[in-house]
Amino acid sequence: MPPLPHILIAEDHDNVRALLARVVVRTYPAVTITTVVNGALALDAYRAHGADLLITNHNMPIMSGIDLIRALHARQVNIPILMVSSDPAIELSALAAGATRFLLKPFVLAELQQALIDLFPR
């Protein structure tokens, strides 16, 4: 039996992190989720367990989402990455750093679910 897909969520706000996890589970009922509160912990989690998809916020303590994406790409990690942020000014920087898609907060749940399906088809 192949391992369950692993989705890594890096978001420093508890409520947003929980919401992201709920939408991921609704979209992919058979999935392993790791949630962390900053980019440094996400990088550690990726090193330990890998991931098939990364959802990251930008503005987090210790290591930002853009720095996380750069660190992963420096290690030749090639997974889909969804950057979520309430700051529209960082969209181009996020995409240039290697995010696959950018989603502006607040978002509609259906919009998040569609972004997930586009990045990681069921």
Domain with residues 6-116, CATH architecture: 3-Layer(aba) Sandwich (3.40)
79 confidence band (pLDDT: 50, 70, 90): very high
Question: Residues 14-61: pLDDT tens digits?
Answer: 999 999 999 999 999 999 999 999 999 999 999 999 999 999 999 999
At 63 the pLDDT is: 95
The answer to whether the beta carbons of residues 119 and 99 sit under 8 Å apart is: no
Q: Quick one: average pLDDT of 76-105?
A: 96
The total number of residues shown for the chain amounts to: 122
- State pTM to two decimals: 0.95
Mean pLDDT value across the chain: 94
DSSP assignment string, 24-63: HHHH-SS-EEEEESSHHHHHHHHHHH--SEEEEESS-SSS
Provide the Cα torsion 4, 39, 20, 30; round to 10°: 0
The pLDDT score that the predictor gives to residue 2 is: 61
| pLDDT tops 70 at residue 82 | yes
User: Where along the chain do its domains lie?
Assistant: 6-116
Helix (H) or strand (E) holding 74: helix 65-74
